Amino acid sequence: MIKRDKSYSFIKKTALGVSAAALISGLLWSSGQMYASALESYEEAKRFESFAEQIHGTTSTLQAIASKSQSNTQDGITLTVKDVKHDGRHIEIELGRSGGSNLSKRFLGEPLPDGRTDYSKKGVLDDVEVYINGELYRFENGSLWPGKDANSVILKYGNAKDWSNPKSRTSKLIPDKFELTIKATLSKVKKPFIMKVPVQGKAKSTIVSPNITKSYDDFELTLEQMEVSSLGTYIHIVGMGDIKDLPQKYRSKKGELNEGLMQMDFDILDEKGYKVKGSFLFDLGGAKAQKEGVYQFNYVYSPFKSTPKTITIKPYLFDISDPKKGKVDKKYIPELEYKVSLSNS
């Protein structure tokens, strides 16, 4: 479910006056939600145009469906599920808005001078729930991206969790075939929009489980699994121990989430030097978690342009030195680098 924060849904504004580490650990990593509606104008959304084109250009898993189930109309406004793609972990849904009168110019809403979203106009996307085979799926990562035009939105979700046991919260995979139900609410529209769509098949992916362990100082890092698909790049890396005499700036600060723990992320490149981007602010891959002295790096990055032959993973410690400019100070650790072949997978 994505519930947009009406107070500060434009994330660029929330970053001002907040320490970078606190912003990442408190806002993104604890809630698992980042809104790409953090755009101050539709022109700025053009920066994401190539990303949107990449989404639209991949093979859709949405099959021929009846228009009655694909669309729903309330108060003169019609919402339509235009496209659906998933790879078992990550699902992307294109939602379109049409009809109606006196609507907000943008489906994602317009920013007010203080950075808040303007919900005073009709037709702004407010809340979205995703049901798979009738079950509400709760995802750790959720984001909204501009679509092909001002009346189109891309919903991106990843890393669903089983909340029946809050202590374990194990991951849940998306089945290959399922009935997708979208329940969406819009500003100034009383009734929710409900659309049901049958989804057949999923995007192909390449999975490797090398279990390679590297060490540096008193710290060990094991690459347990990597998955590459047309929707994303996923890594699961486990770390144990610590690095002595590490500058304090590379650790989470006092009072922040994961206080005192190392702040680590990874550059991931193919054999041509193309580097994928992390799914969080500052192009970071995700949130670290430590249980009984073990770091669990389950990180998500953008997809490669094509399936690589080899992948290089470069671990680094980081400090957000200038959150307003998105400047990240990185300390690479060559001793912990991995090089993985996908050609025989």
Query: What is the value of pTM for the model shown?
Result: 0.65
Say whether both 56 and 185 belong to one domain: yes
Q: Are 223 and 340 in contact (CB under 8 A)?
A: yes
* 245 lies in the same domain as 211: yes
Residue 289's CATH number: 2.60.40.1640
Together in a domain, 228 and 242: yes
Q: Are residues 195 and 78 in the same domain?
A: yes
Last residue of a domain, one of 153, 177, 199: 199
3-state secondary structure the chain: CEECCCCCCCHHHHCCCCCHHHHHHHHHHHHCECCCCCCCCHHHHHHHHHHHHHHHHCCCCECCCCHHHHEEEECCEEEEEEEEEECCCEEEEEEEEEECCCECCCCCCEECCCCCEECCCECCEEEEEEEECCEECEEEEEEEEECCCCCEEEEEEEEEECCCCCCCCCEECCCCCEEEEEEEEECCCCCCEEEEEEECCCCCEEEECCCEEEEECEEEEEEEEEEEECCCEEEEEEEEEECCCCCHHHECCCCCCCCCCECEEEEEEECCCCECCECCHHHCCCCEEEECCEEEEEEEECCCCCCCCEEEEEEEEEEEEECCCCEEEEEECHHHCEEEECCCC
Q: What total of structural domains would you count in the chain?
A: 2
Output the tens digit of pLDDT for each of the chain's 345 residues.
555 544 333 322 223 223 333 333 323 322 222 333 333 333 333 333 333 333 333 334 444 344 345 899 999 999 999 999 898 888 999 999 999 999 999 999 988 888 778 889 999 999 999 999 999 998 877 778 888 999 999 998 887 877 766 555 677 889 989 999 999 999 999 999 999 999 988 878 888 999 999 999 999 999 999 999 888 899 999 999 999 999 999 998 888 777 889 999 999 999 999 999 987 778 888 767 776 678 989 888 989 988 899 999 999 999 988 888 778 999 999 999 999 998 765
Residues 182 and 211 in one domain: no
- DSSP H or E run through 90: strand 90-99
pLDDT at 189: 96
Calpha distance 94→153 (Å, rounded): 6
Task: Note whether 179 and 215 are same-domain residues.
Answer: no
- Does 163 share its domain with 227? no
Domain end residue (candidates: 137, 164, 199): 199
Query: What is the per-residue pLDDT for 33?
Result: 28
What is the chain's length?
A: 345
Q: Are residues 195 and 209 in the same domain?
A: no
The dihedral through the CA atoms of 106, 92, 138, 315 has a sign that is: negative
194 and 232 housed in the same domain: no
Residue 109 makes CB contacts below 8 A (sequence gap 6+) with 9, 37, 117, 118, 119, 121, 124, 125, 187
Q: Which of 174, 199, 224 is the last residue of a domain?
A: 199
For tokens 């060559």, name the residue: 334
pLDDT, residue 344, reads 63
Tell me what pLDDT residue 207 has: 87
The answer on 289 and 239 residing in a single domain is yes
- Shared domain check, 272 and 217: yes
Domain match, 176 and 250 both: no
Domain housing 140: 2-199
Which pLDDT belongs to residue 219? 95
